[in-house]
Amino acid sequence: MFDALADRLEAAWKKLRGQDKISQSNIQDALREVRRALLEADVNLQVVKEFISEVEAKAQGAEVIAGVRPDQQFIKIVYDELVQVMGETNVPLVQAQNPPTIVLMAGLQGTGKTTATAKLALHLRKIDRTCLMVATDVYRPAAIEQLVTLGKQIDVPVFEMGSDADPVEIARLGVERGRAEKFDTVIIDTAGRLQIDADMMAELARIKEVVQPHETLLVVDAMTGQEAANLTRTFHEQIGITGAILTKLDGDSRGGAALSVRRISGAPIKFVGVGEKVEALQPFYPDRMASRILGMGDVLTLVEKAQEEFDLADAEKMQEKILAAKFDFTDFLKQLRLLKNMGSLGGILKLIPGMNKLSSDQLQQGETQLKRCEAMINSMTQEERKNPDLLASSPSRRRRIAGGSGYKEADVSKLVSDFQKMRSLMQQMGQGSFPGMPGMFGG
């Protein structure tokens, strides 16, 4: 899911790659891509506009983090903003101080409201909250049967009065039963229509008035995209919602709904439906959803790790050294260890968009190269580490290091010459934030 959005953003990141600063001019392309992607993902236009301007403001004011490329940093900013728009943290279902907790389910027909009612009941049962489900959809007898069947399946009782009774009365008596029999929670399934309709809204409003629910959850089909925004607005204005359940996230959803719902209603998405089965309900986590929408894997973990590991003062010193071509083996070793601290090379590369396509052979090779470099540098004296030229001119030193590290003299020669090439290349590039190591992986 969310493929289109991930591709767009990936394209935007590419434009930023290779640039060493986030600036007003170089993020315009990336912002345009993010904007287009969100619109294509059916996020509400107003939500997109606000989102983009917030991202722009944050990106421009962002401190450049040593050890992190601007495109990665940009991802982090977009991600943080997504998380914020979607509400930061998971908000669990309310539990009333005086049970039963009354939950009113609202939404259009076919969105998965009845299924979500049973899913929620099962979820609560699993955490030892007893449930009574109430069937008020008298317009479709099949809806009542459906809830009764689901109730049997999950061993949760259903209160129903057939299809001749008044929905408001069913809801009232259902809650009364729930209270009398000391259920922890009463979940009221209501009638939906294919479209928003005045009668449906009026009935829902009356039920709400009579049962005074602690939660009014809007069930939103994630596949409805842009429509989700209008739907949320109407329900929120006319009924007032306290939360939402986003269904059918297992399908080919474009994800726009997730963004719009919270922003428009201010009410949190509490759960997501991820399948037809009654077990397929998960708590909604804004951070996970943001990663999923961006399709960026764990690049954020990488940024966070780099933030922790890479001391700014250290980075500046390193940069000065690079510019003066004084970057030596001690510095190099530090960089290697930094890489190691951040996890395996394969692990790190997997976190970087686009790099996850490297074959496991290539990764293995890179990993071996890193170990090999470290072993050889460990066999150098402090003097040799500080002054790589000593090694270039002395075969006997190279032989000694080869012997000490268990490699061949030719390997040491290659390390030294690659290092020198790298050093002059780095000096030319004049960029020291996270020195690449051309040649070092070449074997």
Identify which of residues 112 and 366 has a Cβ nearer to ligand GDP in the complex. Answer: 112
145 near ligand GDP, judged by CB under 6 A: no
Rounded to the nearest whole angstrom, what is the least distance from the CB of residue 188 to ligand GDP in the complex?
A: 13
Determine whether the annotation assigns residue 420 to a binding site. no
Among 72, 101, 111, 291, binds ligand GDP (CB under 6 A): 111
Determine whether the annotation assigns residue 136 to a binding site. no
Among 99, 240, 251, 343, binds ligand GDP (CB under 6 A): 251
255 near ligand GDP, judged by CB under 6 A: no
Determine whether the annotation assigns residue 108 to a binding site. yes
Among 69, 248, 270, 350, binds ligand GDP (CB under 6 A): 248
282 near ligand GDP, judged by CB under 6 A: no
Rounded to the nearest whole angstrom, what is the least distance from the CB of residue 119 to ligand GDP in the complex?
A: 8
Among 273, 366, 388, 435, binds ligand GDP (CB under 6 A): 273
Determine whether the annotation assigns residue 191 to a binding site. yes
Segment interacting with ligand GDP, rule: CB under 6 A, options 110-118, 333-341, 408-416, 421-429: 110-118
Segment interacting with ligand GDP, rule: CB under 6 A, options 13-21, 201-209, 245-253, 307-315: 245-253
113 near ligand GDP, judged by CB under 6 A: yes
136 near ligand GDP, judged by CB under 6 A: no
Parallel, antiparallel or unpaired: strands 281-283 and 269-273: antiparallel
216 near ligand GDP, judged by CB under 6 A: no
Rounded to the nearest whole angstrom, what is the least distance from the CB of residue 122 to ligand GDP in the complex?
A: 13
Rounded to the nearest whole angstrom, what is the least distance from the CB of residue 95 to ligand GDP in the complex?
A: 24
Q: Binding site membership: which residues?
A: 107-114, 189-193, 247-250
Q: Which residues bind ligand GDP (CB under 6 A)?
A: 107, 109-115, 192, 247-248, 250-251, 273-276, 280
Annotation: binding site for GTP: 107-114, 189-193, 247-250
